[in-house]
Structure 1
Amino acid sequence: MAAKLLGRTEPRIFTKPLRELTPETSRGFEVIKFALVILGVHLYPWQKFLLIHALEIMPDGQYRFKRVIVLVARQQGKTTIASVLAAWWLFVDSKRHPDMVPPVKFKVVGVAQNLDIAREPWAAVKMWCDPEPNTDEEMELALPALQNATAKVSDTNGKEGIYARSRAHYEIRAAANARGKPAARVLMDEMREQKTWTAWNAVSQTLKSFWSGQMWGISNAGDSSAVVLRTQRTAGLESIAEWEEYVEAGIISAEEFANGHDVTLGLFEWSAPDGCALDDVEAILQANPSIGFGAMTVQSALSDIRGMTEAGYRTEVLCQWVVADVDSFIDVKEYRLRVLPGDEIVIPKGSRTVWGVDVSHDRKTTWLSAAVFTEDGDPFVTVRLSRAGMMWLPDYLAELAEASGQREVAVNAKGCPAMEFIEPLKKLGLIVHEFDGPKYAIATGRYRDAVRDEKLVVSAQPDIDLAVQGGVVVPYADNMAWSRPKSLPIDISGLIAETIALYALELLKPEPVEATPPPPPQAEMVTRDDVAPTDVNLATAAF
C-alpha cells in the first residue's frame, strides 16, 4: 500500500530562529497546550511549527517578531490558528506582564478588508467564551473556563467586542475604519486584499506605544496589486537572504547578526516553487501543509486544475504570486511551450553571442542576458545574471568578454538607467549596439513574433516567466514597446535585456572597434646644424 501523502510541516521559506526553540524560548508551546487542553483543538503539524517559530521570545521576555507574515494556500486552517491565537492573547497573554502592559490597556484588534472576514476568527472566540449564548447549539459549544473569564460580549454590527474580566478586550474593524486607539496585538486577515496602505499605516502605528507589541498578517499569495503584502514579503525575503549570507555562511554568529540587523520581521511561507508544473505533487504538498491531516487531499487539489484559470490555481492552490489581470503582450502559454530542458539546448562551441544589458526602473538591479544560435539554428535567449546595483557591470562584462571572446553588447540608449553603460563599455573595447526608441519598439514586437512563430528557445526562468505575464507595453509610433514603470511592481528588465539581445543577434552585424592609434613618440627637438650626416634621414623621419 502506498504511503499516505502528507503536507509539508516546514515552510519552503521562513525566518530562522536566533536560538533553539524550547518552552523557555517560545510561547508557541504554551499556545499549543492551550488549544488542546482548554479549546479542545488539535492543531496540525504546520500550525504548531508556525506558533513555535513565530512566538519566539527574547531574553527580556519580549516577542522577537513585531511583525509576522504568514502565507499559505486556501483551506489550510488559517482561521483556526487565528482564532486560537486571538483567544490565547485575550485570556492568557494579556495578563502576563501587568507591570509593562496592564490588561485594561491590552487590546486585540482584528482587521480585514471587510468586516465579514475579520469576523470569522472573532466569531470562533465568541462561540467559546460567550457567557450568554443565544441558542442551545451555542451553549453546547461554549467552554465554561472561558465563559467564566468573560465579562460581556457585544455583537452589534460595527461595535463587535469581547471583554474579558481582566478588562482586556478583542474588537474587529474593516480596513476602511482601521484607525483607532493603540492595540497590543493586531490580527490582519487576508492581507492580499489590501490594495492601499491606509489600513496598514493606521494599525501598525498603534503598536508602537506597546512593550512587546505584535502584528500578524495571514493570507494567501496575491498579485501585483497586493502592495502591502508584497512589500512585507519582500522585506522578509531580504532579511532571510542576509541571514543566509552571514550566519549560515559561518561569517558571524546568530547573536552578532541580531545585534547588527533588524530581526523583528518574521516571514513563514508555505508555497510551491515558482515555475513548477500545475500537477507537481511535491509542490502541492509544499503549499498545502494540511493535506493528509484533514479533509484535503492531493487529488482534491489536482481536480481544481481544470476548473480554474491557471492564475487562479497558482494563487489559491499553489500559493504562488501572479501578476494582476492584465492583457499579456506575449501569450503566456505560447511562451512556456518555448521552454526546453537544459540538456536539450545545444550551443556550438565558439558561437557568436550577444550580451544584453538592462537596469530596473528603480536602479536597484542590473540584468545581463545572452542571445546565441543553437545547433539547430534557433535563437536561444536567457538571463545569465542579475545582481544588485550597477557599478559592477562594466568590469564584469569586460572580464566575461575576455574569457569568452564574445564582445557584443546590446544596450538601450534613450531615457533609461542602462544608457549610462554605453561609454564605459566602449572604453573597455566592447562592441555596443545602441537601441533608440524606434529600434527598441521593433525589438519588443519581434520578441513576441519569435514566441508566436516558434522561432525562439528559452530555458526555465521564473523571473522572466513572471515578466512575460505582467509585462506592459506602451505605444511608440506604430509599434509597442516594453514599459518598465507601467509594469511595476513586476521588474521586466531581464525580459528587456533578452529582447534587445535577440534583436542584435538576428539583425545587427558586429562592427569592429577601431583601436585608437598610440600617440607618436615625442622626438627631441634638434637643429639641422646639430645632426650628423648619418643621422639626417632618422631625424627627418622622427618629425
Structure 2
Amino acid sequence: MTSALVLPDTGVQTPRIDVHPLFFSSVGEDAVSWTHEVAGMSLFPWQDYVLENMLTMKQDGRWAAPDVGLIVPRQNGKGEIIQARELFGMFMLREKKIIHTAHEFKSAKEGLSKLQNVIARSPELSEKVQVKTGNTEPGVYWIPEKRGEPSPRMIQFLARSGGSGRGFSCDFLVMDEAFAVTMEMVDAMEPTMGAVPNAQTLWASSAGFAYSHHLAALRKRAFDGDNDDLAFMEWSVDEDDFDPGDPREWAKANPSAGYLMSWDFLNRRFKTSKAADNLAGFAREHLGVWEMFAANSEIPESKWRKARMSSSEIVDDRVVVSLDVSAARRASVVVTGATADGSVQSEVVFNDEVSPDVVATVRSLVDRWDVLGVCLDASGPAGQWLSALSEVGVEVKPFGSRMVAQADGGFKEKVLSGRFVHVGQKILDHAVLAGVSKPTGDLWVFDRNSDIADMTPLKAASLGVSHFEFLIGQEVRHLETAEESWFF
C-alpha cells in the first residue's frame, strides 16, 4: 500500500451512480429509526442511505421507485439492507407477502438464517413470528391470532431456477444475486408482479457479468437519466479511468471498508491478484467493475454500443456466409453484407448445438441469395465441416490460423473506425463484450475459450467481414482492369 496516500477512516458512504425518482412523502427515516431501535440492527451510514432512499412514495401512496437497483462489491453488507427492508415491510408496512430469492437454494437458506438471528435478538419481534428452516416453505411467518388460521404475513425464501418467475407475486420481491437473473425469468414474472397494486422489487447484486442483461438494462436506465420510477445506487470505480492499486479507488467502491473489512485485507487481495495476473478478477470482485470492462475485452463496450443500428439492413443479397464451431459443439452461421451507406453489417442467422441443421442452413442461404462466398476457420473445430459442405455442393474458403488472426485484427479496426454496424443481437453482444485476446505469433486472436459467452458469433462475424471485404475488393479490381483495357 502506498504510504504517502492518506486514506479515509471508511469507504465512501454515497454511491458513484445515484439515481432517485421525485417523491411526495417517505417512510425512509422511519425505517432507519425502527431498524436501529426496535430490530436492534447497527447499520452503517451507507446502509441507512440505501434504506432511506428506496422507501419514498408518490402522492397516491404508491412507491415512487417500484424498481430499486443496488450494486455493491461483495463482503460490504448488502444483506443487512435486505434484512432491514424485509422486517420493516412485515412488521411496520404490514406487507402480506415478501419473497426473497437467490440464485441458489443454499444462498436463500443462508439469507433466512441471518434474518432468523436478527429476529432472535429482539423479543419484540420473535414473539410475533415463527421461523421455518426446513426445506418445505422455509421462511418467517406471522403467528395468526387464532390457531389453525393461515399466516396473514410471511417472508418466503426461494431459489430461482431456469425461467421460473411466474410464482413471484408479492408485495416486496428481493432478487438477490441479480447478476444471474435471466431475461426469460423477468418476462415470466412481470405479469404476476404487475397484478399487485403497489409492489416493489429490489435488484441486489455485485457487479454484473457480460450475460447480466436485465441488471445491465437497469443500469443503462440510470445512466440515461430514466428515473421516473427507478432508484439505482452503485458503488464502483469509473471503469474507463481507474488504477486498481490505488487505495483511494478501493474507498470509492467499498463503503464498508473500515467497518466490515480492513484496508490491509484489500491490499492483500490486490497483491495476490496482481501476482496471479488476475487484476480483472480483483476489479470485478472489489472495485465493482463489470465483467465486460474487467475482462479487458478487445473491443470497448462504448464503441460496440455506438455501432448498434437496430433498423439497419443489408441492402442487397450479395453477401458472405461464415461459419464457426466451438469445442463445446456450439455453431454459429453469420451473414455479412453492405448497408446503404457503405458500412459492413453482420447478422447471426443460426446459433445452436451442432447438428445437420448447420449444413442445411448454409445450403439454404446459398440457394436463396447471391452469395459471394462461404468461409470458415479450417484450423479450428469448424474445419471438420469442410467435407460435409462440399458434399452438398457448397464451395468454402478455408481460413488458416494466420488469416484468422488477420481477420480478428481487421474486425476490431472496422468497429473502432465506425465502419461496421450491427442490429443488437444478444448472442453477438455477449461474445464481443467477453472477447478477450490472446497472442498467436506476432499477431493476436479473439480467444474462443470463454466461460461466460459463446464466442462462435464473434469468430464467424470476424471471418465474414474479412472475406466480404476481400471479395468486394476483388470485384472492384476486376472492374478497374476491364475499364483500363477498354480505354486504351
- So what's the TM-score if we normalise by structure 1? 0.55
CA distances 1:243-266 after superposition (whole Å, capped 9, x unpaired): 27xxxxxxxxxxxxx8xxxx3343
Matched residue, 1:284: 250
Matched residue, 1:183: 170
Change (3 A) 1:66 1:280: same
- Determine the C-alpha separation between the residues in 1 that align with 2:168 and 2:342: 57
- Determine the C-alpha separation between the residues in 1 that align with 2:220 and 2:90: 33
- Determine the C-alpha separation between the residues in 1 that align with 2:209 and 2:85: 27
Change (3 A) 1:56 1:466: farther
1:92 Cα deviation from its structure 2 partner: 0.8
Name the SS for the 1:305 alignment partner.
helix
1:28-47 superposed matches below 5 A? 28-47=28-47
The alignment status of 1:18 with 2:4, answered yes or no, reads no
Name the SS for the 1:128 alignment partner.
helix
The alignment status of 1:224 with 2:189, answered yes or no, reads no
| Structure 1 residue identity aligned to 2:172 | R
Equivalent of residue 221 in structure 2, options 213, 235, 239: 239
Equivalent of residue 316 in structure 1, options 274, 285, 291: 285
Equivalent of residue 197 in structure 1, options 184, 189, 192: 184
| Structure 1 residue identity aligned to 2:200 | Q
* Equivalent residue pairs, number: 372
Name the SS for the 2:84 alignment partner.
helix
1:78-477 superposed matches below 5 A? 78-94=78-94, 106-130=96-120, 142-148=121-127, 150-165=128-143, 167-176=152-161, 180=167, 182-194=169-181, 197-198=184-185, 200-201=186-187, 203-225=189-211, 230-243=212-225, 263-274=228-239, 276-297=242-263, 298-306=266-274, 309-322=278-291, 386=307, 388-389=309-310, 414-415=320-321, 419-421=337-339, 424-425=341-342, 437=375, 444-446=404-406, 467=432, 469-470=434-435
- Determine the C-alpha separation between the residues in 1 that align with 2:62 and 2:457: 38
Name the SS for the 1:197 alignment partner.
helix
- Determine the C-alpha separation between the residues in 2 that align with 1:201 and 1:323: 24
Change (3 A) 1:213 1:127: same
Change (3 A) 1:272 1:107: same
Q: CA RMSD in A?
A: 5.0
Aligned residues of 1:314 and 1:320 also touching (Cα < 8 A) = yes
CA distances 1:367-391 after superposition (whole Å, capped 9, x unpaired): 6xxxxxxxxxxxxxxx9x6465566
Change (3 A) 1:283 1:496: farther
| Structure 2 residue identity aligned to 1:4 | P
Aligned residues of 2:112 and 2:133 also touching (Cα < 8 A) = no
Change (3 A) 1:307 1:165: farther
Aligned residues of 2:207 and 2:288 also touching (Cα < 8 A) = yes
CA distances 1:181-219 after superposition (whole Å, capped 9, x unpaired): 732111122123446734x45555442232211111211
Aligned residues of 1:56 and 1:63 also touching (Cα < 8 A) = yes
- Determine the C-alpha separation between the residues in 2 that align with 1:180 and 1:465: 29
Change (3 A) 1:26 1:304: farther
1:493-504 superposed matches below 5 A? none
Name the SS for the 2:56 alignment partner.
coil
| Structure 2 residue identity aligned to 1:59 | Q
Segments of structure 2 that go 5 or more residues without pairing to the other structure are 145-151, 322-333, 344-371, 376-396, 411-415, 418-428, 439-443, 481-488
Name the SS for the 1:18 alignment partner.
coil
Bigger Rg, structure 1 or 2: 1
Change (3 A) 1:435 1:274: farther
- Determine the C-alpha separation between the residues in 1 that align with 2:201 and 2:16: 22
Change (3 A) 1:296 1:26: farther
Name the SS for the 1:414 alignment partner.
strand
Aligned residues of 1:82 and 1:121 also touching (Cα < 8 A) = no
Matched residue, 2:50: 50
Change (3 A) 1:32 1:468: closer
Change (3 A) 1:219 1:32: same
The alignment status of 1:62 with 2:62, answered yes or no, reads yes
Change (3 A) 1:425 1:58: same
Matched residue, 1:400: none
| Structure 2 residue identity aligned to 1:152 | Q
| Structure 2 residue identity aligned to 1:183 | C
- Determine the C-alpha separation between the residues in 2 that align with 1:116 and 1:125: 14
- Determine the C-alpha separation between the residues in 2 that align with 1:470 and 1:291: 32
| Structure 1 residue identity aligned to 2:123 | P
Segments of structure 1 that go 5 or more residues without pairing to the other structure are 95-102, 131-141, 245-257, 340-359, 368-382, 395-411, 427-433, 451-457, 474-478, 515-543
CA distances 1:325-382 after superposition (whole Å, capped 9, x unpaired): 9xx9xxx79x79xx9xxxxxxxxxxxxxxxxxxxx9xxxx996xxxxxxxxxxxxxxx
CA distances 1:202-238 after superposition (whole Å, capped 9, x unpaired): 555442232211111211123234xxxx222332234
